[in-house]
Structure 1
Amino acid sequence: MAEDVLVVGDAETESPTARRTFEGHEVECLAAGDDAPARAFCGTFESGLHRTDDAGETWDRVGADAIPESVTSVAVSPHDPAVVYAGTEPSAVFESTDAGETWTEFDGLADLPSASEWSFPPRPDTHHARWVEPDPADPDHLYVGVEAGALVQTRDGGETWEDRVPSARRDTHSMTTHGDEPGRAWVAAGDGYAETRDGGETWTHPQAGLDHRYCWSVVVDEADPSRILLSSASGPRSAHNPASAESYLYRREGGTGDDGGAWERLDDAGIPTGSGVVRAVLARGRDAGAFYAVTNRGLYRTADGGDSFDRLDVPWPDAYEGQTPSGLAVVGEANR
């Protein structure tokens, strides 16, 4: 896994990149908010949660007295940049309302009926909160993906929790939502793709054309959320291990649920896929048709919805080709 955080386009330092190495500990997750573009959070495995307030020049550990050392997901609320959520191993979710200074654990998550079945296959005696997705339409609504076993929710700010529903995926890796589409969410999971139109009450699984169904990262277009990009592979070894990697990028357009079009594999769009390429981490840009993707082969951007990608001019040491990226955040992107 990745051990560095790269900052691209740092106007404060007039440098194309700034780098922080987390002392050999694996970087698990990364998040930043639009309203505080110099602030970001990085979760690591076994060295806790870190925050920068100067666009990556310096990082400080936060929550050491409250949060376990293995932080597996982090999210900034779209409603208030001072509200931050951290998911951990073993599975728990913490909230900060003061930009990471103090933290409170949400009770009741591990008391859900399905919790006895939660298990992470490489370490079957444990499990973790792989993804936390705040609902942009409701500040009290959170989705939490437990790897592996359940996609659960709270609709009252963590006071109570709703267990997985029968149509939800069991191995959620990432999710996305859209501010103009209340009730909708999109999921990339180890057991396939899914989407909801009713706030997670029910889920559909449009899979036509999706030949690789170990899904990792999903994003939707800022201007047209019926355009979806998805990274996937045939299984975990081909997704995450650079030595055996074989991953692909898919796009779907033209509708929702089973009414939309089939998935299209983007093999000739200018971004490397296939043999030797680990699954991409994706992020939505601020403009219509803009997406970013990072793999072990570099950082790429498309401005036309995935028709063509350009590699960004970022220093990419040979060592990075043997690593697997863990997170990608787009903050304050200028129109291009």
Structure 2
Amino acid sequence: MELLAGTRNGVYRGPPTAFEEAVRVLDSDRVMRVRTFGSRAYAATRSGLYRSLDGGDAWTRLATPRTGVYSVLEHPPEERLYAGTHPAHLYVSTDGGVTWAELEGLQDLPSRGSWHTPRHRDEAHVRALRADGDRLIAGIEVGGVHVSEDGGETWTERREGLHDDVHHVLVADGYWVVSTGDGLYRTDDAGRTWTRLDGDVEGRYFREAAVHDDRLYAAATVGPPPTWDGPRGTDAALYESIDGGETLEPVEYPGAPGEFVLSWAAAGGEMYAGTTAGQLLRRVDGAWRGAGGVASGVASLAAVE
């Protein structure tokens, strides 16, 4: 078992217990998301969508309709491949990425005209794509969460009560957790209602959450990336929860508070995290330890055999 790390200059692969041995296996623009589905690995990047069929050794660029790909999903596996882009459009391929069709129903949502942010050329992007059974979930930065029950043909807004700067959607057993630029939110009814989980913590900016062995992991900073260059760095904290986020307990980790945890992955029965400084953290015997790292911030992590 190895880890793939998506960074600002491509994808690195290495052993999770000694990530200083990681090598760059894909030279690309900034990686927004790296994901694995069976033996297939994908890197969604600002310069396109890449796929590896051999665990990350060799990569092929898929010809997507738009260059900036921010999210990727196979669902069902090996049948339908989805790519979420910047600007915020969604495409599907049924032939492994050879041809693509736009799922125009996403553009028909009532809130579509409000999806934009000055930081991203006053546009938005599909930052998260997830599946929960037959349901598709799209998280828009900036635009909220939306769901589809028919493979992406039509969509329903589930953004009421949720901050619309969506970075990540975690699908857990019976609930979802959404990380946003202003808060961490949970829903137990597929987005019809939302509960904010971060009322008792200082940070408000969340990038990603994860769950492993019924333990929820999340990290927060006090502000977005432009604020991370101060004397305290990101001024971040890491939290764990054993009750689905109802209570978030702060835990110590190497690099705190200057390094912010951007990404998570489970590999070999253990939990790993990647930070803004490129450090890989490993949870051992209930505590976080350093496990090497790379020269660029680890924006996304995925396990590969």
Q: TM-score range by the shorter chain?
A: 0.7 to 0.9
Correspondent of 2:273 among 284, 293, 306: 293
Shift in Å, 1:211: 1.3
Correspondent of 2:140 among 140, 146, 149: 146
What is the CA–CA distance in structure 2 between the aligned matches of 1:9 and 1:256, rounded to whole Å? 30
RMSD: 2.5
Q: Hey, which of these two has a bigger chunk of strand by percent? A: 2
Residue 236 of structure 2 aligns to a residue in which SS?
strand
Match of residue 272 from structure 1: 255
Contact 1:132 1:144 in 2 (8 A): yes
Distance 1:286 1:193, change over 3 A: farther
What is the CA–CA distance in structure 1 between the aligned matches of 2:302 and 2:69, rounded to whole Å? 17
1:308-332 CA-to-partner distances (Å, cap 9, x unmatched) read 1232245x3xxx2xx4322111234
Contact 1:212 1:234 in 2 (8 A): yes
Shift in Å, 1:242: 9.0
What is the CA–CA distance in structure 2 between the aligned matches of 1:97 and 1:286, rounded to whole Å? 32
Residue 11 of structure 2 aligns to a residue in which SS?
strand
Distance 1:158 1:242, change over 3 A: farther
1:269-303 CA-to-partner distances (Å, cap 9, x unmatched) read 4x32212x14431123463xx32101114112214
Equivalent residue letter for 1:265: P
TM-score, normalised on structure 2?
Answer: 0.87
Correspondent of 1:329 among 299, 302, 305: 302
Matched, 1:67 2:65: yes
Residue 302 of structure 2 aligns to a residue in which SS?
coil
Matched, 1:115 2:112: yes
Matched, 1:97 2:94: yes
Shift in Å, 1:246: 2.6
What is the CA–CA distance in structure 2 between the aligned matches of 1:102 and 1:16, rounded to whole Å? 37
Match of residue 311 from structure 1: 290
Match of residue 152 from structure 2: 158
What is the CA–CA distance in structure 2 between the aligned matches of 1:61 and 1:264, rounded to whole Å? 41
TM-score, normalised on structure 1?
Answer: 0.79
Match of residue 41 from structure 2: 40
Contact 1:239 1:246 in 2 (8 A): no
Match of residue 284 from structure 1: 266
Alignment of 1:220-231 (within 5 A): 220-221=211-212, 223-224=213-214, 227-231=215-219
Matched, 1:204 2:195: yes
What is the CA–CA distance in structure 1 between the aligned matches of 2:67 and 2:27, rounded to whole Å? 13
Contact 2:52 2:59 in 1 (8 A): yes
Shift in Å, 1:21: 4.6
Equivalent residue letter for 2:265: A
What is the CA–CA distance in structure 1 between the aligned matches of 2:127 and 2:99, rounded to whole Å? 22
Residue 116 of structure 2 aligns to a residue in which SS?
coil
Alignment of 1:181-200 (within 5 A): 181-182=173-174, 184-200=175-191
Match of residue 3 from structure 2: none
What is the CA–CA distance in structure 2 between the aligned matches of 1:105 and 1:252, rounded to whole Å? 39
1:135-167 CA-to-partner distances (Å, cap 9, x unmatched) read 1xx23x111111112211111111211123412
Contact 1:114 1:150 in 2 (8 A): no
Distance 1:2 1:240, change over 3 A: farther
Task: Indicate the structure whose relative CO is greater, using CA pairs within 8 Å and at least 6 residues apart.
Answer: 2
Shift in Å, 1:110: 1.7
What is the CA–CA distance in structure 2 between the aligned matches of 1:48 and 1:256, rounded to whole Å? 35
Match of residue 4 from structure 2: none
What is the CA–CA distance in structure 2 between the aligned matches of 1:61 and 1:81, rounded to whole Å? 17
Residue 58 of structure 2 aligns to a residue in which SS?
coil
Match of residue 53 from structure 1: 53
What is the CA–CA distance in structure 2 between the aligned matches of 1:281 and 1:300, rounded to whole Å? 10
Distance 1:313 1:274, change over 3 A: closer
Contact 2:274 2:297 in 1 (8 A): no
What is the CA–CA distance in structure 2 between the aligned matches of 1:159 and 1:230, rounded to whole Å? 32
Matched, 1:176 2:142: no
Shift in Å, 1:176: 1.1
Residue 58 of structure 1 aligns to a residue in which SS?
coil
Shift in Å, 1:251: 1.3
What is the CA–CA distance in structure 1 between the aligned matches of 2:162 and 2:206, rounded to whole Å? 14
Runs (5+) with no aligned partner, structure 2: 1-6
What is the CA–CA distance in structure 1 between the aligned matches of 2:201 and 2:78, rounded to whole Å? 36
